[in-house]
Structure 1
Amino acid sequence: MIERRLCRKRVLVVLDDVDDLEQLEALAGSHDWFGEGSQIIITTRDEHLLTRKIDAIYEVSLLSHDEAIKLFSRHAYRKEKPVEDYEKLSEDVVSYAGGLPLALEVLGSFLYDKDKDEWSSALIKLKCIPDIDTIWFP
């Protein structure tokens, strides 16, 4: 159905977090499914899915520690750096998130305007979860 409807149209297709070859083939089976000049962008954590008919691969790295602190602080404090007395807690959260931007944004927004006891409690609960990748990237 996708091929039939889009074969003559120039489109931009974004397939985010693809983790299965069958999923990829069902949604973007071949270049000729789409009109001339179409672009297909695929994000995946499994580079083995990108072995066929790929024009270019762009690898996105995790955030550096300083970038992670800055992004987290924007969401947790609405400032560029941690507020006084929250530095250690911020370091713990950033370390837990492992440089993943979505995790940093969600955790920062969740902890915004909460006191230190709530932060500590949240960190204890988070540390009971074995692998953050399974939460943010199932």
Structure 2
Amino acid sequence: MDTKITDYFTNIVTIAQADFEQINYTTDITPKRSILRLEAQYGQYRVLITELFSDELRKYRYYILRGDWVEAGFDNSPDPRAIRLKYGRIGKEYTNQYIPHLHRDDKNQLFLTEEITVSDFINWIKINIDK
């Protein structure tokens, strides 16, 4: 695995350890992609962090859940609802575009965002979620 990605994953784990409890993580590395999956506790909430590097793209999913309820989920997937919200429609030219967005209210609400990092996500949690 690329040393920069290894350092990046190590940094994410270190940042998470400073703010969360019961940290568990795995990495899955192949020549074509690198994945970090991290699960932690934040008070009564479960935190799920996934970072994926593939095809020279950074893909992420950051979720905070109360039980199975999605309090908030940030990701940059090619979500059809995010594509429609950004472009007004889903067309072939937008297929597979990674659109940063936020899910709220158990994924019933969707908002476009800027791309974020784990640090941004943790700061968002501290401001918006009571432990």
Q: Which has the higher strand share?
A: 2
Q: Which has the higher helix share?
A: 1
Question: What TM-score does the superposition give when structure 2 sets the normalisation length?
Answer: 0.26
Question: What TM-score does the superposition give when structure 1 sets the normalisation length?
Answer: 0.25
Name which structure has the greater RCO, CA cutoff 8 Å, separation 6+. Answer: 1
